[in-house]
């Protein structure tokens, strides 16, 4: 059990049948009335972020999240396959559960699988990934508009906006948080 007074950024709790990670919290003691804890929580099943206010000292169960390093193997069209490199146990996760994450996964890459009581919650990717550009329109000389961009497709099939100087074969760094171009590798 954990009390709302003991919140720390990053702890995981079980509340109203869901699993949440505390992103932010603030203890509030108004002049009149009872103290409370204002918090921002991320639902680890859906990815949605909510604001929630708890009474001071409200109790809830702590959710023990397991993290396992696994290697991404392949996409069979329905599932993404991962393998634990210590036990060689293979795990299939339905493709629709990892719709955004699959844009940044390369075969053979190591990722962290997040699990709660044998329920797979998702895949934790590195903050930034390096991917090679496989398709993009050529940069047009003389087009010097501020922050001019063009479409590019990287080796995973993901489409991203890049600056005009990026060419096919360039390796670029993409943020896995928002899916945007960061810089050249």
Residue 52 maps to which CATH number?
A: 2.30.30.30
**Do 143 and 103 reside in the same domain of the chain?**
no
Instruction: Report the pLDDT value the prediction gives residue 1, as an integer from 0 to 100.
Output: 87
Which pLDDT belongs to residue 171?
94
Q: What is the pLDDT along the chain (185 residues), one digit of tens a residue?
A: 898 888 988 899 999 889 999 999 999 998 888 999 999 998 888 878 999 999 988 999 999 989 899 999 999 989 999 999 899 999 998 888 888 889 999 999 899 998 888 888 888 888 899 999 999 987 666 656 667 888 999 999 999 999 988 899 999 999 988 889 998 88
- Look at residue 31 in the predicted model and tell me its pLDDT: 87
What's the pLDDT at 99? 86
CATH value at residue 99:
2.40.50.140
Contacts of 40 (CB under 8 A, 6+ apart): 22, 23, 24, 25, 49, 50, 51, 52
Upper half-sphere CA count for residue 67 (Cβ side, 13 Å)? 7
Beta bridge partners of 86: none
Do 82 and 98 fall within a single domain? yes
CB of 36 closer than 8 Å to CB of 21 = no
Number of neighbours of residue 152 by Cβ within 10 angstroms: 23
Domain range spanning residue 180?
Answer: 128-184
* Cα gap 5→16, rounded to integer Å: 18
pLDDT number for residue 80: 92
Q: What's the pLDDT at 159?
A: 93
The predicted model scores a pTM of 0.72
User: What pLDDT is stored for residue 96 in this prediction?
Assistant: 85
Q: Are 145 and 179 in a shared domain? A: yes
Last residue of a domain, one of 10, 39, 62: 62
Domain termination site, one of 86, 109, 124: 124
Spatial distance between the Cα atoms of 126 and 161, rounded to a whole number of angstroms: 20
Pick from 15, 12, 10, 105: nearest CA to 63: 12
Same domain, 91 and 139: no
Residue 118 and residue 70 share a domain: yes
Q: Tell me how many domains the chain contains.
A: 3
Q: Can you read off the two tokens belonging to residue 35? A: 């103290």
């Amino acid at each position: 059990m954990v009390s709302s007074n003991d919140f720390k950024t990053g702890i995981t709790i079980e509340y109203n049948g869901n699993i949440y990670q505390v992103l932010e919290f603030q203890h509030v003691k108004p002049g009149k009335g009872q103290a409370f804890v204002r918090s921002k929580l991320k639902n680890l099943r859906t990815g949605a972020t909510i604001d929630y206010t708890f009474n001071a000292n409200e109790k809830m169960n702590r959710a023990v999240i397991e993290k396992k390093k696994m290697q991404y193997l392949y996409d069979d069209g329905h599932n993404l396959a991962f393998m634990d490199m210590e036990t060689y146990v293979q795990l299939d996760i339905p493709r629709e559960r990892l719709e955004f994450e699959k844009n940044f996964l390369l075969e053979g890459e190591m990722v962290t699988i997040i699990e709660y009581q044998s329920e797979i919650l998702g895949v934790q990717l590195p903050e930034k990934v390096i991917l090679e550009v496989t398709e993009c329109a050529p940069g047009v000389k003389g087009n010097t508009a501020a922050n001019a961009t063009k479409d590019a497709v990287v080796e995973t099939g993901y489409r991203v906006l890049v600056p005009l100087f990026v060419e096919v074969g360039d390796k670029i760094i993409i943020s896995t948080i928002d899916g945007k171009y960061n810089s050249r590798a």
